[in-house]
């Protein structure tokens, strides 16, 4: 049987992917798995995104690495279509973002998530949101859930990770 990871590729997102990314994110947001992202925000942040593309060219997942400050970035907007979950695609997307973070010389990566177990398996540890003041004052303050955020803050120290960082 062919390895399912081999018929999919993770690549940088392009402008033509924005509507597909938006559809995946909105579907997941409607199911309470993440917070929604406006379409115009995706266009202005498309360079942050990687996509999971199947062999027919259909976008099946996405993830973004958003630089927050000089030594820290955020993993955000991670979503994989339901029928492909549990096969390692989400981890592959996150590891691709982590490899870029290491290449950029970042020291830490965080996420705000409802998926604590998933990120825990990738060595992220739960922290209090007060260790992320740049995030809180740049983004969270504008969120309709602020200050009653129900997402969990998780952090990964990148020191010692190899730039390739994408091994399974």
116 C-beta neighbours (distance < 10 Å), count? 14
Please report the pLDDT score of residue 30 as a whole number.
Answer: 92
**Domain ranges for the chain:** 4-157
pTM as predicted: 0.84
Q: Which CATH number does 4-157 carry?
A: 3.40.630.30
**pLDDT (mean) for 144-151:** 59
Q: How far apart are CA 147 and CA 130, in angstroms?
A: 12
pLDDT in tens, 43-70: 999 999 999 999 999 999 999 999 998 9
Are the C-beta atoms of 76 and 110 separated by less than 8 Å?
no
* Residue 22 predicted with pLDDT over 90: yes
Q: How far apart are CA 65 and CA 74, in angstroms?
A: 6
The more confidently predicted of residues 136 and 88 is: 88
Going from the C-alpha of 54 to that of each of 4, 6, 15, the distances in angstroms are 10, 10, 17
Q: How far apart are CA 75 and CA 110, in angstroms?
A: 6
Among 69-78, 92-101, 153-162, the range scoring the smallest mean pLDDT is 153-162
| Continuous segment of H or E residues that includes residue 143 | none
Q: Tokens 């020291």 correspond to what residue?
A: 107
Are the C-beta atoms of 99 and 166 separated by less than 8 Å?
yes
Residue 2 binned pLDDT confidence (cut-offs 50, 70, 90): very low
């Amino acid at each position: 049987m062919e390895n399912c990871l081999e018929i999919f590729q993770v690549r940088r997102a392009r402008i033509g992917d924005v509507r597909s990314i938006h559809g995946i994110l909105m579907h997941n947001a409607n199911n309470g798995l993440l917070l929604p992202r406006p379409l115009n925000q995706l266009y202005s942040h498309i360079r942050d995104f990687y996509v999971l593309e199947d062999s027919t060219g259909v976008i099946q997942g996405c993830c973004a690495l958003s630089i927050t400050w000089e030594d820290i970035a955020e993993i955000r907007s991670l979503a994989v279509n339901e029928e492909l979950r549990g096969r390692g695609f989400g981890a592959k997307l996150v590891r691709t973002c982590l490899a870029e973070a290491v290449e950029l010389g970042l020291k830490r990566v965080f996420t705000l998530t409802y998926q604590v177990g998933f990120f825990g398996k990738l060595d992220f540890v739960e922290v209090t949101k007060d260790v992320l003041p740049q995030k809180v004052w740049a983004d969270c303050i504008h969120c309709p859930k602020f200050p009653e955020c129900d997402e969990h803050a998780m952090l990964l120290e990148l020191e010692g990770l190899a730039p390739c960082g994408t091994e399974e």
